Every structure is written in C-alpha cells, then in structure tokens.
Amino acid sequence: MKFKVKHPILVDAIPKGHRTRQLVAAMTESVFDIPELRLDIDATRAVSFETSKADRAKGAPDRTNLLAAEGGLFAPVWASEGIVNGIVQTTSGILISRRLASAAVEAVRREARAAASGDPAPKMVFTRDGGTPAAKEDKVSDKEFLKQPPLESLSNGTIDHEALRDGLAAIRAAVASEFVIVDKTFCRRVTEPFYAIVGKRSTGGDLKLCFGDVPAGMMAAFRLGRLDEARAFMDRLGEGGNQSSLSIVEGPGAHSELDDVALSVANAARMALMAFKSCYHHEYQSKQIVQSLMFETPLEHLTVARKLNDIVGSRNVFSLASEAERIAPILEEIVSFGEGSQFVMREWKEPIGFPMELVVDLWNNQSIDIDIAPRATTSGPR
C-alpha cells in the first residue's frame, strides 16, 4: 500500500544569510510503499503479553501481540486514539501519515547525527516557528520539525542534487523497511526480544520480556520459544517467581536464533567480576582493604578475578557472549568457592542470591544437534 507523506529532508545547501555549506532541514513529499501481509499466511503470532500500564495510558491496547514475518518481528502501531488501522481512509488514515512522517523525522535525525560526527565543520540549520534558526535539533520540537520551509524555497544553485536524491532514497528505504500492514493493522518492526529472569527481594524473581537491553539484576536470559524453560528456571530459584509471567503467551511464530545460554554466561561473568571489585572498593578503609586483598584473599580467587577481568574488560554483555566457551570454566571455579566468596554480592543472598550454579547448569546441559549421515549402502555381490 502506498502513502504520500510530507516530511523533512536534510539538504546540503548554502542557505540565505550563510556563506558556507550547511545541512539544512527542509520540507518535501515522498511516497512510501508499505508491504501488505496476511495473518497466518505471511505473518504469524509470536508472543502476546500484557502491555505496561504507562503505554496503556497513552492509547496502547491491553495486550500487545508481536507478529513474526519475513525480515523480523513487528508490533501494532498505536496512538492516543488506539491501534492505527491501515486500510480505512478516515481518521485512522491521518494517523498513518503522522506515524510515517514521524519515522521520516527519525531517519532525518539519524542522518544528521551521522553527518555531524563524520565532519564536524557543517552545522545543522533547523527552523523554529516564526523562521528563527536553531543550530541544535533538540531545540526544535517535533511539531516545528514538520513545519520546515518547503524544499522549493531553496534555489537550485544552492542544492546538491545528488546528495538530495541519495537522502530521499535513504529515508524512503528506512521508513519502508520499518513498517508492514498485517490484515489492515499498521505494524512497526521491533528489536528481537528475549525473556529475562530478574532478581527481586520481594518476589525472588520476575520474568520480563526485554527488547535489546539487558535489565539490571538479570540472572538468566531465554530466547523466544523457550518460555517454558524460563518458567522452569524460576521454579528452581525456590521462590516461585512473579506470577505476572503467566500473562505472556507464545504463538507458533515464537522463534529466535539468539544464543541465550551464552548471553546468560556472559552476564554472570560481568556480575561476578563486579561483585569481586566491589569487595575491595571503599574510600574510607583503604588500609584494611589492601590488607585483605594481599594477605586474606586466596590466590586462586585472585587468579580467577584476573582471568575474568582480561576477558570482560569494558565489553558489553552481547559482545561478551562470544567468549562464553572461555568463561564457563571460570564460572565453574567460582561455584566451587562457595557462596561466601568475593564473587557473590552480599545483597544477592536475600532472598535467593545470584544463581551462579544454575547458570553453569544451563551451559553444561545445552542440547546439541548432531546430524548423522545415513550409512552408505552397496549393491552387488560381495
């Protein structure tokens, strides 16, 4: 389905009153071709979960349904009036255009930031209401962003037409790739989610559906399709976990290639290293801490801490997951030290502590797919 939308575009130009070339935001018009899919044919239900109270207050439905289609996962677009419908050309049709224009603005801003980081010389020129220029995008509201002067107001002699064509093509491609229409429902691509078991003192553990970021206090991660395993992990914690996890329901499209076990191992490594360092970080007891570190900390603990520090460094947990095979044996050593070691934060012990041993079990008990080729047969006399 095609939609014509007015939106800003960054133009490499010499605007009136300026002597040097600058990135200027102007208004133009584009036609976006959004793919139309059919539920249970081109798209399948992946996960259904209870929408957060904050999002419901902004117009989101009580439950959010993620749909799996070629190219990723998609969620319905909603506004203050509710879910945006992609076919009825009434008020909902206007909402579609606004969402597309908003996505175009986001693409413009991404390009603006990339251009500024690549060449600090150009300055971005955005126009405030009344024609006042603003050098920073955060000084311009979304409403003002959509009221930039028309592209035609810039004379042909000031515009880099090649850059303009590339900019328009990039924006149209970015917007079109982010949206689909599934059975009249306007949907936008979402980051691949995963289930995170998060430790809480009040409940012992909580199961959350996370998008892209590792939540604070995460104990283990489980990819889509492994909801039952995530709940079983919570049961092993001994506290039962938060029953809100029951509001999550998986569908036939719940599938992911995320290496969740490696992510859990990487997260445990970061937590263990952080715990060890926190034991020896106190600005008012430096002498006692040095004494403890030098003469009371077992050498094998120091050796393990150095191994972890060499691997973990400043890497984020997703990057660190590629080192899971090296990390797992180190975690096994930490488990052998017992719950009283410096690798376990004291506050983790209430009510359940960090389940290092369970994370190691996840690694050791992974299912391994082995393809066995059929035995070759021979014919004829022996």
Q: Residue 222: beta bridge partners? A: 195
pLDDT for res 29: 84
User: Is 0.85 topped by the overall pTM?
Assistant: no
For 68, 194, 208, 259, the CA distances from 263, given in Å and listed in that order, are: 22, 11, 15, 6
Candidate from 97-101, 112-116, 289-293 with smallest mean pLDDT: 289-293
Spatial distance between the Cα atoms of 231 and 219, rounded to a whole number of angstroms: 13
| Contact indicator for 96, 186 with CB cutoff of 8 Å | yes
- 8 Å CB contact between 320 and 269: yes
- Residue found by looking up tokens 């096994």 in the block: 332
In contact, 106 and 137? CB cutoff 8 Å: no
Mean pLDDT of the chain: 79
Alpha-carbon distance of 49 to 359, in angstroms, equals: 26
Q: What is the largest CA-CA distance in the chain?
A: 95
Say yes or no to pLDDT of 229 above 60: yes
Can you give the pLDDT at residue 88?
44
Winning range, highest mean pLDDT, from 127-136, 263-272, 293-302:
263-272
Cα three-residue angle 62-189-205, rounded to 5 degrees = 55
Q: How confident is the model at residue 203 (pLDDT cuts 50, 70, 90)?
A: low
Average pLDDT over residues 297-319: 87
